[in-house]
Structure 1
Amino acid sequence: MAAPETDFDRRPDPEALLALAEQEKSGKLCVFLGAAPGVGKTYAMLRRARSARDEGIDVVIGLAETHGRRETEELTVGLEVLPRRKAEYKGRTIEEFDIDAALARKPQLIIVDELAHTNAPDSRHPKRWQDVDELLRAGVNVWTALNIQHLESLADIVSKITGVSVRETVPDRVLQEAADVVLVDITPDELLQRLKEGKVYVPETAQRAIQNFFTPRNLTALRELALRRTADRVDDQMVGFLRQGAIEGPWATTERLLACVGPDASSQKVVRIAARLATGLNAPWIALHVARAGDDEQDAESVKQIHDALHLAERLGAQIERISGSDLAGEVLRYARRENITQIVVGRSRASYFGRLFRWSLTDEIVRRSDDVSVQVVMGDGREQATKKRRWFRPGNTHYWTGTSAAILSVALTVCAGYLLDRWLSLSNLSVIFLVPVVLCAAWFGLLPAIMAAVLGFFACDFFFVDPRYQLTIRDPSEFLALVVFLVVAFVTGMLASRVRQHSEFMRTRAEAAQSLFEFSRNLSGAANLEEVLWAAVAQIQKSLDARCVVLIPNADELAPSAAWPPLDELDPGETSAARWTLEKAEPAGWRTGTLPNVRFQFRPLSTTRGVLAVAGVQFRQPNEPLSAQQERTLTALLEQTAIAIDRSMLVGEAVKAAALEENEKLRMTLLSSLSHDLRTPLTSITGAVTSLRQLGEKMSQDDRQDLLASIEEETGRLSRFISNLIEMSRIEAGAVAPRREFVEVGDAVRAAVERSRKVFPDLNVSVSLSQGLPLIKGDVNLLSNVLFNLLDNANKYGGGSAAVYARREGGDVVISVTDEGQGVKPVDLERIFEKFYRGGRVDGRKAGTGLGLSICRGLVGAMGGTIIAQSPAIRRRGTRLVLRFPIPEQPRQGKAA
């Protein structure tokens, strides 16, 4: 018994809801679709625009091509029209749609006519549909017009129907992602009548159009294509509405298509057919190119064919994949099964004459081995196959001529060696020695030279060493059998040796790539900062690809080169615009892309999970040739590692900043804690004493009043010392302490500090011991006196009521020490006591002091060129000794001491 259906089972499709949410973030596109020029697309679009304006919608005409039609021009009256951008092209001035003005104006709705138009070369985008795409991403609703023949997947069909090649095309995804498609349709007879009345073209042009493009047969076929594509689009919309509303319906099993792209011209036909199938099935699809392992001999034309086919597939909405392997059919089928492919679209391929003797063609092999995947074979024409067959025999193919020469020369040398062996050893059969040139040619030059060596060896052995000699005849049947066996063995040996060669070349290439990536990873791991990462990246990319590389990192509103190799001072405005586009849109721009393709560099985003961190630009030495599969893989791997390294360097920098902020926060909290204690305590005492004196006045005895006044004086001095310490510490940290460098009598500074401490700390018992004949030191007598007073202040707080000051000479230094008899300092804290706000405990356990005194002492002593350290225990396993050490300068002559 089936389980009852619940509301959860009828929930909306999450993917449909996500697609709807994505549409809400951007502007909506409405395409007015027609079968041919003149059906009234622009007229219908402007009429609806006027209605939208009357409803209060902000409508602007970015570009509307009226082609001189009076009734169409009248519809533009009363609507705001953006000025067009003027551009120079082939010596004349043309007017183009100004996308920057449209983005600055940013209306609710903008009219941009002729979606398939090609922009002027200096435009930001080569195609107008890319301008529209940018407007949509900016949140602007766009209405545009399109003829059905300009859809990319229908270009070859339209060319076959009409005999006219379609140069300007629009990717199918633009129509698929449009929010609305409005079909503007009239019958072929009506369109021909409009053409005759001059409502489409001028009379001379109209007459030529009727004779060529505008025939009833062509218009009927184009009308059918427009109706079918509109019906498909409406069906997709209905399915989307059903999924979003959780309405039941029989959903078809998801299809996934795979288009196999090769180096022949039929690959573009395969791509277009796969795109049409995917559109009809509403299925995702993948364009796959499988490179033969070790095959690094593809000419520029083959590489261009592959690149153009994959680029076309990308524009048609395919996912692009490149893999390599020795078994091409096996690699295709393994990929198909791994990616859950349901249909494979492959062009018909024929093996060469020798290939048909030993193996299937690629198409036959895929069909034979695809047990669970459907295969659709696209038929090519004979010209493509003939071109493919003649590929090895081009006069410019140096590899072919080198292999041929090697086969002829090696067989000739083998014949000479055979003569020598026949004269010295009188062997009955010398055919086996002709395997040597076969193996050598296969190992060094590949399969075809090996086959040539085998055939030449067969005839050479017959001609020179089989009776009757010097004739291509064989008398003995056993000799004929031996030669046939030799030829078979030579063919098999040549194939195996060639395969070993290919595998070794493939492994060598992989090993070099792996070694390059390993060295790059090691260099990046050793990079200490972001600058070293960037220089390592540009140097490695230049070394691996023989191309100029530049990396740009955004800094505030600027985007300038941070590292480049070979060195580059600055980019031109067009290159800067392409780099900024890559940074903002996270899409490639520049050379061989859809955005500013005329600049020298191709810019790619360096992205991580945190977004686009930087932009890398690469300029190749051969701008007219596309990237090979190996170059693409190498560049992608290097850029991915670079992005990770940049992210790591930035995270390290952010971690350092965070640690500094955390340390500053700790210091701030410590300072606040110190202030709250060290200011509140004396202020409380002063406030209490003043209040008592004011309220009691004459009622208090004279002794009590004197005690309160003494308390006020003591706490005021404490506050004064605390504030002085804060000011002194800020001056030290700011580098504002500039002590006088004059000769100082140490004894005077010690006596001044001790005398001051006896007044401030009457309960502290201080003893002084000064050696006779102490030399002068260089410094500031006031600062030195302040240092010694702070040390005595510290002894008063922690020293147990007594302190001893000693000054003596030790070698080339004058040493001053202040020793107390307190509890002492733990060995681990002997350095910490000089840190800001570090405070030890008093004998009674209460906190005391601000924790700035010793830190100030170290700063002042260092400013005067001396050092200060702490020693504990000092005497009788107790106490702390603070030791100041100053170098003894050259003493002044007698009578000139300061």
Structure 2
Amino acid sequence: MSSDGTEVDEERPRRGRLTVYLGAAPGVGKTYAMLDEAHRRSARGTDVVVGLIETHGRAATAAQVDGLEVIPRRSLTHRGVTLTELDTTAVLARAPQVVLVDELAHTNVPGSTHAKRWQDVHDLLAAGIDVVTTVNVQHLESLNADVEAITGVRQQETVPDHVVRDADQIQLVDLPPEALRRRLAHGNVYRSEQIDASMSAFFRVGNLTALRELALLWLADRVDDALASYRRDHRIDTPWPARERVVVAVTGGPESDTLLRRGARIAQRAAGSELLAVHVLASDGLPSAAPTVLDAQRRLVESLGGTFHTVVAEDVGGGVVDFARGVNATMIVVGVSRRSRWREALSESNGTEVARLAGSIDVHLVTHEHARGGESRHRSRSPLSPRRHAVGWVLAVAGPFALTVVLAALRDNLGLPTDLLLFLALTVLVALVGGRWPAVVSAVVGFVLLNWFFTEPRGRLTVEQPENALALVVFVLVAAGVASVVDLAARRTTEAFRARAEASALAAVSRSVLSGEDTAAALVARLRETFTLESAALLERSGDGWVALATDGADPSRDPAAAQTVLVVDDRRVIALTGRPLPAGDRRVLEAFASQVGILLEQEHLRAQAEQARVLEQADATRTALLAAVSHDLRTPLATIRASVDGLTASDLHLSGADRAALVGTLATSTARLERLIDNLLDLSRLQTGSVRPMLRATSLDEIVPLAVEGYAPGQVRMDVPESLPLVLTDPGLLERVVANLVSNAVRYSPHGSPVAVSAALLGDAITLRVIDRGPGIADGLKGQVFRPFQRLDDSSGPGLGLGLAVAEGLATAVGADIAVDDTPGGGLTMTVTVPLAEAGTP
């Protein structure tokens, strides 16, 4: 048993405690501070060992290791280099009370038990050994991108935030930027040859200041989490004002913007303060504000540097206060009630309730132009149909008289209590059929008839016995109450059904928008169908007029002024609806539809931008690759041509006939090579700009393939294209370039003495042309890359820009052919070109 009476598992080993020295930047002294703590613990009799320390050649740090037991490191060999790592097994066998492990984010040498050092530390903690370690703020995973944006250096070694955040103790080791730069200049951080470069790059004052702030903010969040955990564990409900937190109660009304801006100004008075906006939903789930309004207020909060929250509560005031207590708020900002004074006298306003319940939390009451102006309350329309109203009024007027006739005939057998119950049942029936007011009228008429005909003295509106008078009064009150409850239940049922239908419709729209299934035109059509309108049009402002982006229905309005209902999508777009007048209650769903249309348009815009960026990225990559390739592959034949021309034209050289012929041959070969490179570049440029215009006609392959393979030495290419094959529909010139590039590529990779085979055969409604080589082939994982420009999948493939296959694939697509890559049985690669047959009568 523990001291507080709880049971302790004696068999479960104690988990070690983790202490982290968090450095704001390299060189602040975290390793030195860790060693200093080790000496203090050792002096107190604690069994402390050094598992791994990185001194980085710093004499002061190395001197601190003296006097401490050091566990020898484990040696590992990787790529012929011997490296050392933490020997976790040796530490576990030694089983000290405390072990020092430097550089928590370090990546272990391949072949180690774990990939990361923090995983080794986890094993030590699980064994009950306390660990003291170090890490710099730039190695925290969540801050990696921020550090790269600040310093321009991306850290390759990171540690998950939760590893450090879950530590039992975190010590921040910090130095002012100028002090750290002095340490660096004195040679206390890096070697002398690294000082100048470091001070002008990573260790600039601005970088160090930003890193320092990152460390302080990250640690502040961790401390705040620890404070919240402590308050939760000790069941402390009262706020502790450790940090200024301003909660703004947002109702969705017109005053909310004023409250948010006032709350933001209050929060800006103290550094590190937070702004939180909270909107309370009633527990019945029925919406209390338009989604577009709340969405606009959410964006306003985010622009002010705050966060927006939605909670569900029985009442608004209690929900706001409960949320404020949960986030440890120091102030609540509420607005003066919009209710008129007489209504506020009857029921407590939300602001008054918040002030009453807030306790120790300050409440800031903000006046605004809508204060005390009276809420705009529209008379709620009855959910009952006009026919039911009419029937209800008939029952309310005629029913009591008919019941009086029946009861008068049975007067001798029934007493007043039975009469009251029957009149009450009639009132309930009227409420179910006609609603509240017919039921109230029925109750009043029933009261008069009961008094006149069935209460002594009869025939007079007086009551002889007080008990009967009380019964009549109770009857009227109960009848009116029951009528109100029945009417309210009917309204709530209708509202619930409506809310469910709205939620279902909006969920379907949101799902289609998020999945990318619907277009703006589809949403506009769905909007018109949902509300059974004549037409709907999505309009965009263009100069002084409007342009229709999407329309649906008969004769859609192209001018918002001529539409019955106009929904604002954004600053430039609206939805104009024509047809039946829509009730105010439909505005909520309409605005939600408009919001979804806005999201869809924004998604389309972002997709277009992403596609444009992708095209630009491809063009940039092509340009970069082209420049890199041209610098070598075009320069080589030019240099050869220049050398050959210089040799042929040199006046001081006396060339033999054989030498002159050799130079002429070299000149011709290099010129042909240069011509092929330029042709491929031009073809690629035409393909990328879409300027290839194929002229398709019926053609025989035996007219195309021989031209594509001419120029090769005897025995290099073996052709098998029967003359009996039917005609194909293609552009002869472009298909010839396709085959020529494929054959050229195959010849380049084929071993000496192994000819390239070119064959054609009829297969269904197309002819397959195969170019077969016996070269090294291509791995399956690389086959998808062979048609990309500037791809040289084998560095030993010889000269060339890597454009041949890319151009072949682009030209094949242009003429309606397909190229497939397959392995050649027995080794090598087979390129299969599928060309469609020409239909009968095709010229």
Bigger Rg, structure 1 or 2 = 1
- TM-score by length of structure 2 reads 0.49
- TM-score by length of structure 1 reads 0.46
